[in-house]
Structure 1
């Protein structure tokens, strides 16, 4: 029972880390899959397989080498110097993404609850800081609540779309996009998301006792991500091409399902922002703790303060420059993960802290009686 619970926690954390605000709003799914018409169903299946394969391999490899942070993991893949540079660049992207998510939380409080923008920022920051004091256990527990709600909403959306006149559009939807772009899209999507998710998946794997739990967690998590991708694509395809004009495509669908579903949907968007924010801050804190002689609580507070400052001014222009670069880097990272051989089980991890046993002192012959 304990192993089953741990497996589900890993699966839910995997799903919750990948399924961020962009996923929940439908923009990512529309951009990477639905706009490619009838190709999308096949590319979602392909993407699901890659999530299962590479996500599971990343977690098992991280556990076997004893990686405490994503910097340790990148140093194993690329070597110490290159891995360190890639990790620093990832750090910048994570801080930028979290600044945007924090700003999104503030906007939700302002637009949908009628509260002040700063209230949303402060609630998110204080809640994240308190949860992060529990470490990886807090992240696992949070996703054990949020992800089942997300999966339930996906089922509601599917059942309400089945009777739609254009429900079969996801199979026959015509697109003007090239087949090459359609088949490259799932690789870009999975590589980018796994490159970001390593911030929490690597330390989570390090604190898991066996490979079997990670394997089942990776399989269930990958299937869950694929199911939610397919559910959103199924719903949005039925409303194509009109849904392209909406900034938050899934919100337009939620509006048609009633006030209760709309409220639950908006709550889930906030919880997904919150869960991804917490997970990324945790990963960044672990990396910086390896470089700085400062307590983790101080580092966490400093990172959150940085995100708060950037959320006041917006970070969109900078991310517009960094995102394409990180997308290309993520493809290189994913290819490197594919070709890196798996460390045999039972071999001491390269990053595990071991305490050497001192050699017994020998007494010189001249002093022996």
Structure 2
């Protein structure tokens, strides 16, 4: 159970931290820009993301969802589900093409390469990796997360131990000189908007990945762990950027600047870590988008995916920093609506979700016993899943644990 929970947590964090987190731009505009008040924002963001993560992955597993509408239209009214659906679609496409811009800005800051080189390299990777199935995609995303954690820790430890800081000075500078995201004049709005943005970015892929998990308890625990990892990383990142705010302000990739200040070699490696995280976010967005658009015609998945990537590549040349500042806040408030609906339904039906988790665990244990077929039949009849789907999943789960 714990192995699965940690895998779910790592995959979820890999999606929601994404390129904006790894670059440091989101943290700069949504938290550092408020000075030391940004730390209160981190606390608020952590609590709300933990709730959202738990709800998303639990419902994904509960419904065994292949795409987000299998959850949205079962937990919300049709008008609310329609808004949630198209908010997620808009987010997936918008953040996806912002990631192409991020790839170009990342390599330009490090190597002074033209924007189009990084964006083209990203497009080539997207078209290749998009042919893999969701399990392989999940593995790619989960693998990158520990690398990001290590580099955030390095930047934070360096900032804490090697630099002296006058908190009143950095607080004043951050408040007066760092640009805030549009439409977020107060620290709590910045924190909530940032959480809404990341939740909206992650909800579709989180539901798809959790849909492969039959064990709802493992998924739920994975959501809690993922939310906790998220807030810890965010706190370290915000602290490191605030301490070095005068040197990182104005850069497209503030965290890259932090690592370059530690050592040029680390800066070089961090360039490719950021590129990998940009890729992870871009992949998650366009993969889930194509799943959504082709749910009635799955044979057209890759064609739709490839077209969306190419169109996104073309739109990306508006620039990374302006897109983050102007487009992300709109998506963030839409994300808050999705979070609110999912959280309310989750808390309202916690007992049902828990009972189904216990039912599935009992069925798997019964399936391991040669005399337990009758118990599996009874449990299948009580499940929210179709009886045949339930029994097939139980058999597969039992075989994997044998």
TM-score, normalization: structure 1? Answer: 0.83
- 2:324, 2:27 → 1: CA distance? 19
Work out the CA distance in 2 between the residues paired with 1:168 and 1:124: 40
- Larger fraction in helix: 2
Q: Residue 270 of structure 2 corresponds to which residue in structure 1?
A: 265
Determine which structure has more spread, i.e. the larger CA radius of gyration: 1
- Tell me the equivalent position of 2:3: 5
What CA RMSD, in Å, does the superposition of the two structures yield over aligned residues?
3.3
| Structure 2 CA distance for partners of 1:113 and 1:316, relative to 1, 3 Å | closer
- Alpha-carbon offset, residue 155 of structure 1: 1.7
The answer (yes or no) to whether the contact 1:167–1:235 under 8 Å persists in 2 is no
SS at match of 1:68: coil
Query: Over residues 145-182 of structure 1, what are the superposed CA-to-partner deviations in whole Å (9 max), with x where a residue is unaligned?
Result: 211111111221122122244357399945769x9922
State how far apart, in whole Å, the 2-side matches of 1:86 and 1:264 are. Answer: 38
Q: 2:57 maps to what in 1?
A: 59
- SS of corresponding position for 1:19: helix
State the partner residue of 1:301.
306
Structure 1's unaligned 5+ residue stretches are: 356-369
**Residue number among 231, 245, 249 corresponding to 1:244 in the alignment:** 249
Q: Alpha carbons of 1:111 and 1:231: their partners in 2 closer, same or farther (altered >3 Å)?
A: closer
Structure 2 unaligned blocks of 5 or more: 177-183, 357-381, 390-402
Q: Is the 8 A contact 2:50 2:228 kept in 1?
A: yes
Matches within 5 A, 1:51-130: 51-109=49-107, 112-113=110-111, 117-130=115-128
- What residue is the counterpart of 1:192 in the other structure? 197
Q: Is the 8 A contact 1:96 1:315 kept in 2?
A: no
Q: TM-score, with normalisation over the residues of structure 2?
A: 0.76
In 2, are the aligned partners of 1:164 and 1:238 still within 8 Å (CA)? no
Which residue pairs with 2:17 in the alignment? 19
Equivalent residues of 2:87, 2:334 under 8 A apart: no
State the distance in 2 between where 1:353 and 1:312 align. 50
Aligned 1:155-166 pairs, distance under 5 A: 155-166=153-164
1:171–1:204 distance in 2 versus 1, CA, 3 Å: farther
Which segment drifts farther, 325-334 or 201-210?
325-334
Deviations 1:13-37 (CA, angstroms, capped at 9, x unpaired): 1111111222122221122222223
Q: Which has the higher contact order (CA 8 A, sep 6+)?
A: 1
Determine the structure 2 residue equivalent to 1:359.
none
Cα offset, 1:294, TM superposition: 4.2
Aligned counterparts of 1:257 and 1:318: Cα–Cα separation in 2: 29
In structure 2, C-alpha distance between the alignment counterparts of 1:318 and 1:157, rounded to whole Å? 26
Residue number in structure 1 paired with 2:150: 152
Give, in whole Å, the separation in 2 of the partners of 1:61 and 1:34: 33
Asked if the contact 2:23/2:254 (under 8 Å) is kept, the reply is yes
| Residues 166 and 239, structure 1, Cα contact 8 Å, conserved in 2 | no
